[in-house]
Structure 1
């Protein structure tokens, strides 16, 4: 597999996040595109993430003072200018030669938190050197617990402000599209913190979450919660936050869309800890819907990868800027001037 050439793309051609995928196709290897775009098996969950968001109708109010739109929010001790984070995604150097360095620079330009994947193709120390906005770290727990501990301590040493523990992947899903293109890492590209993808543990349990809490010094969020009972157990276990995620539709096919399960999880959690959601976010209206149904913030993955392929750091920043602008417009048009005022009244019943 060769590295992408990443010929210059006129970023002014990117009007929305659907454009960014269309333009990225020609700037990525087939293998890289299939890795980013694909889901598990027949890809029902991948499609449902998007379709479920589309199916939700918004309820507008008029003659409300929306002269000043304030998208600021607070999350785990951070004051964020807007509630959109970069989701953890792997192998950024297969999308752009600068890899995660460009992603971090784009996040910094757009004032966004970047959640770095365990499967980064750039050492975390190098990412931390270029990032001017907060970094979080996504963790896959390995069979070798001491290697896991060392990786967490490296993340803490590099200034990561939270740890997102992926809990929905004891095994990888049936990824037929990746199989068809014989996905493999290109020569010269490696994952310095995760040399062996098969070393991930199948035996991760609540006892391991307790073990992590015994030494981790930063807030722990559990990523991959779809069941309200698991959300309740997570709160009881003392974690700092929950990420409602179906792994971008990449693990178990035919699980529901994340926006569908979000209200049930929000009801169960009842504001005891922050809730984030990923899966299918492509429009500012999607962000409004997620917040209205119980999320404190959302994460965006695939569009960031496509933006990276289109234009490196500038492409990443462009994706975030478009989403933030659309969020502001959607808030104004639903009569909600602040993030805290967005509630279920904006959802057409």
Structure 2
């Protein structure tokens, strides 16, 4: 498999819903949500890439690091890299429908597993979306993380139970989906959660609970105070609220506020292994990657997903060696220029 062929096939299969641009930066698809673009002006989508781009890597080659260790343990599972596949749904209205929902999520979960890491599945306006993801995770021995929209309490609890029955590594809720109109229009209402409601949900499952969509230090504290095992610093790929900061802008302050409280994941604008290393230096334990893996699935199935994840791992290894970074479990902010403000 080669990148050019994969991208060509994906461009044809995605039917213009994703142009498979040379640089996936949100300009060509601005306002196309549903679709693959960002909300309204797509400033939040673009901010994710701009925030990462604002940091440069300090190249260092006079050091003792001869090999780079990319392995990391999350939620009791050892992974080959600190890169997970993000939850994605809505193949018909977001990606053109060339693949079925079930086929797509199996490609994501299977491809991530083949690359030695974890894939996530999502929830959506059609309840079958969630079931398809759970089936894929169950068939891979539980190597996946389902994310649930902020539905009513009883509905979320029932879905958490199904996630546990599937043997999932962990389960989460993308609280940043609280304003998704497509959910309400399809009779699946969602809403913000109070701290008390969040605690109730965390306590309703034995699985590690992840809160996705944290963009401020105070809400990171609320999530961990409620008992969450992890958070995802994310603006939902710029798809729910226009004019938010990029994840890399807010991550350092969040990481300082909740250091050692639990797992910190980051999501938004990851395109290369160097981007992964930047997020780790800014305080993340691992990252989620979304849109590029859509290209992998549509262009090459599970093999295409695995191919792109391993490409990122190779790039990460190179960036680590050229910054004197021995392990992804201890990335110094000093590899960045400018360095993030430290407490």
Question: Where do 5+ consecutive residues of structure 2 fail to align?
Answer: 20-31, 339-343
Q: Which residue of 1 aligns with 2:132?
A: 123
Runs of 5+ unmatched residues, structure 1: 1-10, 174-183, 185-193
Show the counterpart of 2:202.
213
- 1:1-349 equivalent positions in 2, closer than 5 A: 11-14=1-4, 20=7, 24-31=10-17, 35-92=34-91, 94=97, 96-97=99-100, 98-119=103-124, 120=129, 123-131=132-140, 134-143=143-152, 145-172=153-180, 197-349=186-338
CA pair 133-288 structure 1, distance change in 2 beyond 3 A: farther
Pairwise CA distance, 1:132: 5.2
2:26 matched to which residue of 1? none
Deviations 1:272-329 (A, max 9, x none): 2111000000011111100001000000011111111111111111110111111001
Instruction: Indicate the SS of the match to 1:74.
Output: strand
In structure 2, do the counterparts of structure 1 residues 195 and 112 end up closer, same or farther at CA, with 3 Å as the change threshold?
farther
TM-score by length of 1: 0.83
RMSD: 2.4
Output the CA distance in 2 between the equivalents of 1:331 and 1:61: 10
Task: Report the 3-state secondary structure (helix = DSSP H, G, I; strand = E; otherwise coil) of the residue aligned with 1:88.
Answer: coil
- 1:106 offset after TM fit, Å? 1.0
Q: Is the 8 A contact 2:135 2:166 kept in 1?
A: no
Match of 2:211, SS?
Answer: strand
TM-score by length of 2: 0.85
The CA distance in 1 between the partners of 2:207 and 2:329, in whole Å, is 25
Number of residues of Structure 1 aligned to a counterpart in Structure 2: 315
Q: Deviations over 1:35-69 (max 9, x none)?
A: 45300010011111112212211112222233222
Q: Could you tell me which residue of structure 2 aligns to residue 8 of structure 1?
A: none
Q: Deviations over 1:145-204 (max 9, x none)?
A: 33322211111100111111111222127xxxxxxxxxx9xxxxxxxxx99754232252
- Structure with larger RCO (C-alpha < 8 A, sep 6+): 1
Give the match for residue 178 of structure 1: none
- Measured in 2, the distance between the counterparts of 1:196 and 1:114 equals 28
2:280–2:286 contact (8 Å) kept in structure 1: yes
Say if 2:149 and 2:178, in contact at 8 Å, map to a contact too. Answer: no
Structure 1 residues 198 and 50, CA, compared in 2 at 3 Å: closer, same or farther? farther
